[in-house]
Amino acid sequence: MAIYAFYPATSNLRRSDGVGFVLAEGADEASARAAAQALVGGPSIAGFAAVPIAAGVAPVAVQGLPVGAKSGATWPNVTRGGGFLGT
């Protein structure tokens, strides 16, 4: 399975909830995008740019803490506002 990062490539695609970077795994870009959308819920990420994460990808930094799924154990699960993603 491949890993993709999704982000709003232009400012008009930014989400009102502040989510601006989503990392997800899938059999292809479409399934990874679907998994990413399911995690964050709310406004669509259909227009977000996709970057495959593989050898040679440029380093990247994202401001703020990562937020994972409500039931996940890998990442913190509460947003800065104290809520959960996808709800």
pTM of the entire predicted model: 0.89
Domain extent, residue 53, equals 1-87
Question: What is the average per-residue pLDDT within 24-28?
Answer: 98
Residue 70, amino acid: K
Q: Report how many domains make up the chain.
A: 1
Closest CA to 13 of 49, 60, 51: 49
Rounded Cα distance between 39 and 6, Å, is: 12
Token pair, residue 40, equals 């964050």
Rounded Cα distance between 5 and 35, Å, is: 11
Rounded Cα distance between 62 and 53, Å, is: 15
Rounded Cα distance between 75 and 53, Å, is: 18
pLDDT digits over 31-61, tens only? 999 999 999 998 999 999 999 999 999 999 9
